[in-house]
Amino acid sequence: MQSPYVREALEGMEDLPDPEDIVIYDTTLRDGEQTPGVSFTPDQKLEIARLLDELGVQQIEAGFPVVSEGEMEAVRRIAREGLDAEVLCLCRMLEGDVDAALRCDVDGVITFIATSDLHLRHKLKMSREEVVERVGRVVEYAKDHGLWVAFSAEDGTRTEFGFLREVYTTAEEAGADRVHATDTVGVMIPEGMRVFVRKIRSVVDVPIGVHCHDDFGLAVANSLAAVEAGATAVSTTVLGIGERAGNAALEEVIMALEKLYGMELGFRTEVLAELARTVAEYAGVDIPPNKSVVGENVFRHESGIHVAAVLEEPRTYEPMDPEEVGMERSIVLGKHTGRKAVEAKLRELGVEPDDEVVEEVLRRIKELGDRRVRITDGRLREIVEDVVGSGGNRTREGSR
């Protein structure tokens, strides 16, 4: 259920793309794998790629082939899997990296080079002129070899725009199919990202993608702001995993675009929960219970007021249906529990929820909740059996 204030805001967004122009290019298998301590096996990468493809992601950044032989093999296997998604890989501004990509049979490459003076001075030890020359040469080389090419200006959000203009136009003139607004260390705010994307749009005609990091917790907000300003491609990772604080979370970006912006994107969002659990298992990370969209608490309710409302009309406290993202709704019992939750749980156990039983079960639940005792289904059965009595006539079976 969309907020009326969001609807009013959307009416004034003249640069918002049409839904059919939106592209998700997921980098779980590349930037996500750069999470410290994470290393996917080729088999794991392939399974994640299949799930991303089942979801309907249009582009999968499968890896960085020059990193290792194992990485090259994983990228090659994904590229040869026959997925509906386009398979991309990362390349530095080096012809050798493009050659490695060609050996993997990928559909395209995301080429990158840093552009901020900070990176030029302390990392690349290159002049601006050298960067511009490298961009033009390598993008053209990749295009000449039949690849789809995106260009990312690393640390672009900390780069003086006069130089960025030269770099982006050079990439476009060399044949780049898309250029990326790249917030490498997550220093943007949404309004700043809108300004940034509009400035890029003013100097190039090719589509614009956005790649955001989450150092200040704004990766998703900044990605959505970029879309509001006309960017059509969004870089994501499952669960937002990635370098340092991570990236824009795939599940959050997709559901925000669909539910908040009202875009019908055609993704099979019921795959999101399975995808998240698979990535979490292979990455060796836990999904926080309060993780947006796919956390176990997102559709769990304990408060008596909330439970009563949700049982009557789920939209009162749920902005999306759990089934839409592959999740399930559940009622949790504890010290905040009310009568409606107890009645619902008793029915699940086959017990007729008359007033006497409900009141006594509720009293015991609250007493245990105050002692921080978790009320599992097993513990609830014990309480009910004690209150009702074995074989009592309040059970449905006994009443037949």
Secondary structure letter of residue 259 according to DSSP: I
What CATH class has 4-283? alpha beta
Residue 390: band (very low, low, confident or very high) from pLDDT cuts 50, 70, 90:
very low
Mean pLDDT along residues 170-188: 99
Mean pLDDT along residues 335-361: 85
pLDDT at res. 252? 99
Phi then psi for 249, rounded to 5 degrees? -75, 125
Secondary structure letter of residue 177 according to DSSP: S
* DSSP three-state, residue 247: strand
Domain range summary for the chain, segments of one domain joined by +: 4-283, 300-399
H-helix or E-strand containing 179?
strand 178-183
Q: What is the pLDDT of residues 90-99, one digit of tens each?
A: 999 999 999 9
Secondary structure letter of residue 357 according to DSSP: H
Mean pLDDT along residues 365-388: 86
**Per-chain mean pLDDT for the chain:** 94
pLDDT at res. 138? 99
The label of the residue with tokens 């997709």 reads 254
What percentage of the chain carries pLDDT values higher than 70? 97
H-helix or E-strand containing 399?
helix 396-399
Predicted structure pTM score: 0.92
User: For residues 362 and 385, what is the distance between their CA atoms, to the nearest angstrom?
Assistant: 14
H-helix or E-strand containing 49?
helix 42-55
Q: What is the pLDDT of residues 108-149, one digit of tens each?
A: 999 999 999 999 999 999 999 999 999 999 999 999 999 999
Q: What burial letters (b/e) apply to 93-121, b meaning 16+ CB within 10 Å?
A: bbeebbebbeebebbbbbbbbbbbeebbe
CB atoms within 10 A of CB 332: 17
* Selected residue with higher pLDDT from 45 and 332: 45
Q: What is the pLDDT of residues 284-301, one digit of tens each?
A: 999 999 999 999 999 999
Would you state the structure tokens that stand for residue 273, as one six-digit string? 């929960």
Would you state the structure tokens that stand for residue 250, as one six-digit string? 């795939």
Phi then psi for 135, rounded to 5 degrees? -60, -50
Contact (Cβ atoms closer than 8 angstroms) between residue 49 and residue 81: yes
pLDDT at res. 347? 87
Secondary structure letter of residue 375 according to DSSP: B
pLDDT at res. 388? 80
Q: What is the pLDDT of residues 40-73, one digit of tens each?
A: 999 999 999 999 999 999 999 999 999 999 999 9
Q: What burial letters (b/e) apply to 150-177, b meaning 16+ CB within 10 Å?
A: bbbbbbbbbbeeebbebbbbbbbebbbb
Residue 352: band (very low, low, confident or very high) from pLDDT cuts 50, 70, 90:
confident
Residue 351: band (very low, low, confident or very high) from pLDDT cuts 50, 70, 90:
confident
How many Cα neighbours within 13 Å face the side chain of 224?
19
The closest of 199, 280, 213 to 245, measured between CA atoms, is 213
User: For residues 267 and 260, what is the distance between their CA atoms, to the nearest angstrom?
Assistant: 15
Contact (Cβ atoms closer than 8 angstroms) between residue 237 and residue 27: yes
Cα distances (angstroms) measured from residue 62 to each of 18, 73, 106: 27, 11, 9
User: For residues 164 and 171, what is the distance between their CA atoms, to the nearest angstrom?
Assistant: 11
Query: Which amino acid belongs to residue 13?
Result: M
pLDDT at res. 346? 86
Mean pLDDT along residues 372-397: 71
